Chains A and B, each alone.
Chain A
Amino acid sequence: MTGPDARVVVSIADDRVGTTTVVADLRAAGLVVDAVLDVLGVVTGSVAPEAIDALRTVPGVTGVERQRGVGVPPPGNPIA
């Protein structure tokens, strides 16, 4: 049932940004924190896929999304 950890981004409500409790609650819910970006109200990290729903129920969390891969074509590709 347990797959590899999912990389996620978590957004925090305006009035909770910068408070330590949300990040602590996210950790308690299973999030391994990569970065706390207070200036954007975003926390990045990874979590077991089945714990994603638990992150959504943490007070002060407004959204949880799986990270997408982004990119540009390799050098020499006709369109960059």
Chain B
Amino acid sequence: MPEETKTTTGRYLVLLDDSSITAGAREMNRVAGINAASAVESVSPADLETADGVIFHDLGIAVVNAAPEQVTRLARAADEPGPITVVEPERIVHALAAPAAEEAAGPTAVDESVFTWGLQAIGATLSSATGAGVRLAVLDTGFTVDHPDFAGRTVLTNSFIKGETVDDAHGHGTHCIGTAAGPRKPASGGPGYGVAHESEVYAGKVLSNSGYGDDGGILNGIAWAVANGCAVVSMSLGAAVRPNTPYSQIFEQAAQRALAKNTLIIAAAGNESRRPAKVAPVGHPANCPSIMSVGAVDDQRGVAFFSCGTVDAVGQVDVTAPGVNVYSSWNGKTPDTRHKRIQGTSMATPHVAGLAALLAQQYNARGWELWARLMQSARRLGWSSADVGAGLVQAP
């Protein structure tokens, strides 16, 4: 399909290896004769018109004016090892900050004295559903089994990482489980932060303590969750892909089979966007059509700057959830390290997974019906469906 000129600016984005931006600048000059100026903060449109290009050092991205022949040379350099990693047409994107007029319609200051802003934004605090009787799997870096906030809860664990117990030496998994299924009144104090606070948790370790895993471990974890009758699988993990990379046929088939066995897989869209300059495509495996892909919004319902978007006909954002300044459990052993605030589509994903558990309990819904309930009840936002899908998920 030919690119519509309307969606691109005619300029190109060059992603540079972040270990050496300077080397990247030299390489652009060597292969394509482009002299890009350094930008510290922002650049005026006039600067962009006149210069060969501008390098955003913090982002490791250059925006360049390049003739077709120069683009070819840059693309060739990107295909080879070296400091130029990706070259793509610059897209036209709109500003995503929430307009001030909209804020006047709702509360502007977020009161988190009782519940996190995320629980409030998805209506979980007003729902009578708790996730009781619903099994929810979180496939991640494991779980802090002795976390005081989970005392008395049913948490089944399994490690699919050779040589590592399920204990979460990373912290990411404990944070995601906290959002999906943590308490409303934490034993260790602070605001309630868990969506499906009475669900049965299946904590599968498919990422090592350093945060890495592979397809085989993930599929192992999914199979374990399906075999145990989990209605929902939350996967705050992924690998970045280039635009138009085909989705994995194998993960798609696995997801369809899981749905046929009443298990819905929900995965993070990815954090590779740098809005408004760059929107990156939904990563693997969230780009599979039968895996629900989750983008992130902030407490003003604006799209998070890092949230991946729909940029090709392969992957798309299905729904969004709170993913900025998200407070949840952490793997520390002291009062001030048992919780942490972090951001990412990783944090948005367990909000949706927890909500799916509430819907599963409320309507006894599973599989595709659960998918439909999530999409149907999502609150439409004022942004393009390419960025937020059906909108902000809402509790029953």
The residues of A with any CB-CB pair to B shorter than 8 Å are: 7, 9-11, 34-35, 37, 39-42, 44-45, 62-63, 65, 67-75, 78-80
Contact = CB atoms under 8 A, between A and B. Distances in A.
Given A35-B216, A67-B214, A70-B238, 9 more contacts: A11-B249, A35-B223, A37-B220, A63-B249, A63-B250, A68-B284, A70-B214, A71-B207, A80-B236
Given A79-B306, A80-B344, A37 B175 contact: no
A69 B213 CA distance: 6
Task: Please report whether the interface of chain B is mostly helix, strand, loop or mixed according to DSSP.
Answer: mixed
Task: Please report whether the interface of chain A is mostly helix, strand, loop or mixed according to DSSP.
Answer: strand
Contact of B212 (A35, A44, A70): A70
A13 to B, nearest CB: 10
A70 B213 CA distance: 5
A10 B215 CA distance: 11
A80 B175 contact: yes
A62 B261 CA distance: 20
Contacts of B23: none
B214 A75 contact: no
Given A72-B346, A80-B175, A80-B342, A39 B210 contact: no
8 contacts: A7-B215, A9-B219, A35-B220, A39-B223, A42-B254, A67-B216, A68-B284, A71-B213
B248 A65 contact: yes
A80 B214 contact: no
A11 B250 contact: yes
Interface of B: 140-141, 170-172, 175, 207, 210-216, 218-220, 222-223, 226-227, 236-239, 248-250, 253-254, 257-258, 261, 271, 284-285, 306, 342-344, 346-347
A27 B58 CA distance: 49
Contact of A42 (B250, B342, B346): B250
A72 B215 contact: no
B219 A40 contact: yes
Nearest to A41: B257
Nearest to A62: B253
A70 B216 contact: no
Given A69-B212, A72-B211, A79-B271, A37 B239 contact: no
A14 B34 CA distance: 53
B214 A68 contact: yes
Contact of B344 (A10, A74, A79): A79
Contact of B250 (A9, A45, A74): A9
Contacts of A34: 216
A40 B216 contact: no
Contacts of A42: 219, 223, 250, 253-254
Given A39-B223, A44-B219, A71 B237 contact: yes
Contacts of A67: 214-216
A65 B219 CA distance: 13
B56 to A, nearest CB: 16
Given A72-B236, A79-B344, A9 B253 contact: no
Q: Which 4 A-B pairs have the closest CB atoms?
A: A44-B216, A80-B344, A37-B223, A67-B215
A11 B236 CA distance: 23
A80 B257 CA distance: 29
Nearest to A13: B253
A60 to B, nearest CB: 13
B216 A9 contact: yes
Nearest to B255: A40
A75 B172 contact: yes
Contact of A70 (B175, B220, B237): B237
